[in-house]
Chains A and B, each alone.
Chain A
Amino acid sequence: MSSSGEDRSKSEISFTVNGEQKTVLAFPMERLLDVLRLQLGLTGAKEGCGEGECGSCSLLMDGTLVNSCLVPALQAQGASIVTIEGLDASAGSQRLQEAFLECGGAQCGICTPGMILAASHLLNKNPRPTLEEIKEGLSGNLCRCTGYLQIFEAIATAAGRETAASS
């Protein structure tokens, strides 16, 4: 095994990240997660499991929530990607981030970027979710710290309403 000559099979892959056009040179089967973290320095997406189970690598690809550990880089060709770093921009997302802060939605913070992206995806589709809909919208994002209730509360707060989730 040798690590020389490896660039031969790399491809140029272009997409927009947080509104900026980017072109990277990557192996087509590299995980989008690694391309973002290692090549573009966007470390907001985390690797919790590497198998699609925990959601800490979640981001938005063409407006839908995906787990970037399961996306080969080539499949991001031409896509528009939003990571936690780019979410700051819109007022809606800021409300969400503030609500997470206020309600205790982030403890250790490792699940938080994915959780906020999942929440933002949910609110984009359904601006007034019920508690059941919030639970379903987050069911692919595991949090070991909070027991989720304060996260539900944060989302309900951001959506501008009170919920029975609060204790």
Chain B
Amino acid sequence: MRSDPKDYELVAPGSLQAAVGLLARSPGEWLPIAGGTDVMVQYAAGKLPSRKLVSIWNLAELRSIEVLANEIRLGAGCTYTNIREHGVIGREFPMLSSAARWTGGIANQNRGTLGGNIVNASPAADSLPALLAYDAELILISVRGERRLPYAGFHAGYKKTKLAPDELIRAVCLPRRFSGYVCHARKVGSRNAQAISKVCMAALGRVAGQTVEDVHIAVGSVAPVPLRLSETELMLRGKVINESLVSAAKKMAVAEIRPIDDIRSTAKYRAAVTGNLVAEFLNLLSADGKA
């Protein structure tokens, strides 16, 4: 433990209102802590810059999962375990369930939250490509009220988000319009469990015969922020899947990402694997069209 607990304050407001009220009084001064699986790691390493923390763990308002007619509204404080155990998410958003299952071990899934994963904004975060692929939207809350914005674009740069200093994420909304889509998600880590992704992908699409009608491809760990491969998607829409399209898509995907060398992997490996995953997805999509 490389920090001194007595240098830190931690308060636990009893309600969401009280929590945002506290943030509003001195914006930027209080760091929210939910499951603590990112914050406490930084703290233990002596690398947590904020000295004042506000616990939002256990705020009931952040823990609900509402199934509405056209969307699912997931409280930002839902844990990976909550996500994994939810039937509708499992059926309609299987890539989010898988991401939850791939995140750390069971203890980590019992504490880590979706809101924490989003705001921690690691490029390697596992649930974020799924959120991008499913066109998720965020509901943010502050004393000024709530606002809703698309999740795509929320990350302004490496570990930077569009969250205002007095805001919390209240919920993540997933539109219920992907039934009948082919989904393919994969996490490529250094081992089968408890691994930080070297590349992760969540992709979905629909074909009529062999023609691509709709396609969403999102990747993580290959750029400063999780990415939708929009140019690749654009290029694919309306085209017939064949070998040359697959290889063109691989090339374009690689051109869209900005992978780096770090202690976990190399840029060229990440690029190659991204291309391969895109190809693997298109082959599945094509197989579905033939079935």
* Chain A residues close to B by CB (< 8 Å): 6, 9, 26-31, 34, 50-53, 55, 58, 64-67, 69-72, 74-75, 77, 118, 121-122, 135-142
Q: Which chain B residues lie closer than 8 Å to A67 at the CB level? A: 107-108, 111
Task: Name the distance in Å between A109's Cβ and chain B's nearest Cβ.
Answer: 19
| CB of B12 closer than 8 Å to a CB of A | yes
Complex Cα gap A139–B37 (Å): 16
- Cα–Cα distance between A136 and B192 once the two chains are bound (Å): 10
Q: Per a CB cutoff under 8 Å, which of B33, B36, B104 touches A140?
A: B104
Interface contact A66-B107, CB-CB below 8 Å: yes
Assembled-state Cα–Cα distance A78/B35 (Å): 16
A34 → chain B closest CB, angstroms:
7
| Most A-side CB within 10 Å, residue of B33, B36, B55 | B36
Residues of B within 8 A of A137 (CB): 106
Q: Which residues of B contact A30 (CB under 8 A)?
A: 5
CB pair A65–B5 under 8 Å, yes or no, is: no
Inter-chain contacts of A142 with B (CB < 8 A): 194
A118/B40 contact (C-beta < 8 A), A6-B6, A27-B8, A74-B10 known: no
Q: Cβ of B5: which chain A residues have Cβ within 8 Å of it?
A: 26-31
**In contact, A136 and B58 (Cβ under 8 angstroms):** no
Known: A9-B6, A55-B105, A121-B106. 11 other contacts (CB 8 A): A28-B12, A29-B3, A29-B10, A51-B45, A52-B107, A53-B194, A64-B81, A69-B44, A70-B35, A74-B10, A140-B194
The size of the chain B interface, using a CB distance under 8 A, is 34
Identify the closest chain B residue to A50 (Cβ): B44
- B residues less than 8 Å from A140 (CB atoms): 104-108, 193-194
- The answer to whether B110 touches A65 (Cβ under 8 A) is yes
Q: Kindly provide the distance from the CB of A23 to the nearest chain B CB, expressed in whole angstroms.
A: 16
Given contacts A75-B58, A136-B106, contact A28 B11 (CB under 8 A): yes
Are A139 and B36 in touch, CB under 8 angstroms?
Answer: no
Note all chain A residues with C-beta closer than 8 A to B35: 70
Contacting pair B10 A28 (CB below 8 A): yes
Main secondary structure of the interface of A (DSSP, over half): mixed
Q: Is the interface of B mostly helix, strand, loop or mixed?
A: mixed
Q: Are A31 and B55 in contact (CB under 8 A)?
A: no
Give, as a whole number of angstroms, the nearest-CB distance from A6 to chain B: 5
Residues 95-125 of B, flagged 1 when their CB comes within 8 A of A and 0 if not, give: 0000001001111101100000000000000
Binding site for A on B (CB under 8 A): 1, 3, 5-6, 8-12, 33, 35-37, 40-41, 43-45, 53, 55, 57-58, 81, 101, 104-108, 110-111, 192-194
**Residue contact A51 to B41, C-beta cutoff 8 Å:** yes
Q: Which residues of B contact A65 (CB under 8 A)?
A: 106-107, 110
In whole angstroms, how far apart are the Cα atoms of A34 and B40 in the complex? 13
* Bound: A56/B263 CA distance, A: 25
**Contact call B57/A70, Cβ cutoff below 8 A:** no
Q: For B10, what are the chain A residues with a Cβ–Cβ distance below 8 Å? A: 28-29, 72, 74
B9 and A28 contact, CB distance less than 8 A: yes
Nearest CB in chain B: distance from A39 CB, A:
12
Q: Which 6 A-B pairs have the closest CB atoms?
A: A140-B105, A139-B193, A27-B5, A28-B10, A29-B8, A70-B40
Which residue, of B3, B8, B35, B106, has the highest number of chain A Cβ atoms within 10 A?
A: B106
Given known A-B contacts A52-B104, A121-B106, A136-B193, A29 and B43 have beta carbons under 8 A apart = yes
Are the CB atoms of B105 and A139 closer together than 8 Å? yes
Task: List residues of chain A with CB within 8 A of the CB of B101.
Answer: 136
Contact status B107-A50, CB under 8 Å: no
